[in-house]
């Protein structure tokens, strides 16, 4: 084989790998194998991360028909686009910002309105942790921004950064799940 053939072969393998790792494809595959259960009440789809919109679109294509449903996607500014049937919020990444705080408050209100008849499907893709800052009462958004700047400059890896974020957030570390109660909850995560 010559260099050109090897490059073409390597590119082909790369493209196959990217396609296989596509978050929307993963959502499709999972929802075909394990369909969304029809709730007696409403279905709330909340999609967070760089692939939030494509994942939410895919979930809506596989959701039960004839039920009240709401889809919300929170993504970074670069990936935001108006999408029919989905309320799209864009926010700062890797540093949280006021737009993310606004989206956090909106999500929190939506979750507080849930009943035991309702169902929530969370779709979480990479880069989602900074998009919904939801600081704990003792911490303000400016404090979270400073903590993020310190973490970014300290050499922490993403797991360590997310541990710091978890302690400063009402949503992370199971907080979103607690807010969903008494509704049923399902979460699909990808990178």
Angstrom distance (rounded) from CA 90 to CA 102: 10
Terminal CA-CA length for the chain: 34
Encoding tokens for residue 18?
């990217």
DSSP 3-state assignment of 189? strand
Distance between CA atoms of residues 44 and 121, nearest Å: 6
Angle at 30 between CA 165 and CA 158, to 5 degrees: 20
**Is residue 87 within 8 Å of 60, Cβ to Cβ?**
no
Tokens standing for 67? 């039920």
Nearest to 66 by CA among 33, 38, 36, 32: 38
Token pair of 20, please?
A: 């296989």
- pTM of the predicted structure, to 2 decimals: 0.85
Per-residue 3-state assignment (H helix, E strand, C coil) for 17-31? HHHHCCHHHHHHHHH
Write out pLDDT tens, residues 156-166: 888 888 788 88
Helix (H) or strand (E) holding 65: none
Residues of the chain with pLDDT > 70: what percent? 97
Q: How confident is the model at residue 1 (pLDDT cuts 50, 70, 90)?
A: low
What is the percentage of the chain residues whose pLDDT exceeds 90?
59
Q: Quick: pLDDT tens for 89-142.
A: 999 988 889 999 999 999 999 999 999 999 999 999 987 778 998 888 888 888
The residues, ordered by sequence, that sit 6+ positions from 108 with a Cβ below 8 Å of its Cβ are 134, 170, 179
Contact (Cβ atoms closer than 8 angstroms) between residue 104 and residue 133: yes
Q: Domain boundaries in the chain?
A: 3-189
Q: Which of 63, 68, 32 is nearest to 47 (CA)?
A: 63
Q: Which long-range contacts (CB under 8 A, 24 or more apart) does 9-16 make?
A: none
Fold of 3-189: Rossmann fold (3.40.50)
Beta strands 69-76; 87-91: pairing state: parallel
Coil, strand or helix at 42 = coil
């Amino acid at each position: 084989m010559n260099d050109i053939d090897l490059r073409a072969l390597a590119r082909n393998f790369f493209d196959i790998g990217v396609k296989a790792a596509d978050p929307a494809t993963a959502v499709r595959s999972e929802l075909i194998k394990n369909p969304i259960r029809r709730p007696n009440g409403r279905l709330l789809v909340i999609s967070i991360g760089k692939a939030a919109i494509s994942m939410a679109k895919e979930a809506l294509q596989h959701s039960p028909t004839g039920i009240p449903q709401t889809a919300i996607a929170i993504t970074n500014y670069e990936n935001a686009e108006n999408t029919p049937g989905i309320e799209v919020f864009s926010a700062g990444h890797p540093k949280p910002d006021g737009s993310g705080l606004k989206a956090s408050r909106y999500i929190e209100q939506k979750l507080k309105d849930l009943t035991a008849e309702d169902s929530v499907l969370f779709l979480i893709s990479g880069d989602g942790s900074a998009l919904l800052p939801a600081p704990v009462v003792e911490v303000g958004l400016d404090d979270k921004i400073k903590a993020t700047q310190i973490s970014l400059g300290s050499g922490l890896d993403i797991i360590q950064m997310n541990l710091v974020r978890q302690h400063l957030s009402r949503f992370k570390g199971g907080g979103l799940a607690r807010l969903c109660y008494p509704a049923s909850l399902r979460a699909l995560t990808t990178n």
